[in-house]
Amino acid sequence: MTTGETVALDLAVSVIVPARNEEACLGDCLQSLTAQTGAALEIIVVDDHSTDRTREIAASFPDVRVIEAGPLPEGWTGKNNAVTAGARAARGVWLLFTDADTVHLPGSLARALAEAQKNGVELLSYSPEQIAVSFWEMAILPVVFAELARQYPPAKVSDPSSPIAAANGQYILIRRDAYDAVGGHAAVATDLLEDVALARAVKQSGRKIFFRYAADAVRTRMYRNFSQLREGWTKNLALLFPNPGQLALQTVALWVVPWIALFFYLTNRAGHWWWNPVFVGAWLYLTTRLRRANFDLVVQFLGALFGMPMFAYLLLRSKRAHTRGSVPWKGRTYSDEERLLATGH
Domain ranges of the chain: 2-128+168-224, 240-343
DSSP state of 186: G
**CA separation for the pair 18, 81 (Å, rounded):** 9
Residue by residue, pLDDT tens for the chain (345 residues) are: 443 333 444 448 999 999 999 999 999 999 999 999 999 999 999 999 999 999 999 999 999 999 999 999 999 999 999 999 999 999 999 999 999 999 999 999 999 999 999 999 999 999 999 999 999 999 999 999 999 999 999 999 999 999 999 999 999 999 999 999 999 999 999 999 999 999 999 999 999 999 999 999 999 999 999 999 999 999 999 999 999 999 999 999 999 988 887 777 677 655 566 666 777 777 888 888 899 999 999 999 899 999 999 999 999 999 999 999 889 999 999 986 555 545 554
* Domain 2-128+168-224 indexed as CATH 3.30.950.10: no
pTM of the complete model: 0.91
pLDDT value of position 286: 85
**CA separation for the pair 245, 295 (Å, rounded):** 26
| Nearest to 97, CA basis, from 198, 201, 205, 202 | 198
Helix H, strand E, coil C: the string for 71-120 is CCCCCCCHHHHHHHHHHHHCCCCEEEEECCCEEECCCHHHHHHHHHHHHC
Are 69 and 47 in contact by the 8 Å Cβ rule? The answer is yes
pLDDT value of position 277: 74
Q: In this structure, which amino acid lies at residue 141?
A: L
